[in-house]
Amino acid sequence: MRSVIAGASWWDATATAEIHHTFQNQSSELTSNKSFGNSSGSKIDTLTRREKEILTLMSEYKTNQEIAEILYISSGTVRVHIHAILHKLGVSDRKQAISIYFNSEHL
């Protein structure tokens, strides 16, 4: 509690690093005028290693809880990653994200 009050992050180190990486990627894409509307392969390329792992497990129709158990993270962390995946891919649900995954060269 004292650390959080002093300004430390209450997220675990992995989640903090992933969030930081996500914001850095979005910032660099905006400054280089890249479009999110490129091919599905380039959309997949915007994902972090962990997001790609989760998308692969999603494509195997694993539930959030199953993904959490496989990756040794909480189901809440899985939800955060899935939200980031959907945002980066510009889709509104898992089925659309999985469709992009299967249509990309990253099988």
**CATH code of 52's domain:** 1.10.10.10
The one-digit pLDDT tens for each residue of the chain (107 residues) are 566 566 665 656 666 666 666 666 655 554 443 333 445 558 899 999 999 999 999 999 999 999 999 999 999 999 999 999 999 999 999 999 999 999 886 54
Domain membership of residue 23 (yes or no) is yes
Assign residue 72 a region (left: φ > 0; alpha: ψ between -120 and 50; beta: otherwise). left
Question: How many distinct structural domains can be found in the chain?
Answer: 1
Q: Which structural domain range is residue 77 located in?
A: 12-103
- The verdict on residue 20 lying in a domain is yes
Q: In Å, how far are 7, 43, 83, 88, 93 from 104, measured between CA atoms?
A: 41, 9, 20, 15, 17
CB 40 within 8 A of CB 102: no
The reply to whether 2 falls in a domain is no
Residue 30 counted as domain residue:
yes
Contacts 24+ apart (CB under 8 A), 36-39: 36/88, 36/90, 37/90
Whole-model pTM: value is 0.61
Lookup: tokens for 24: 């850095």
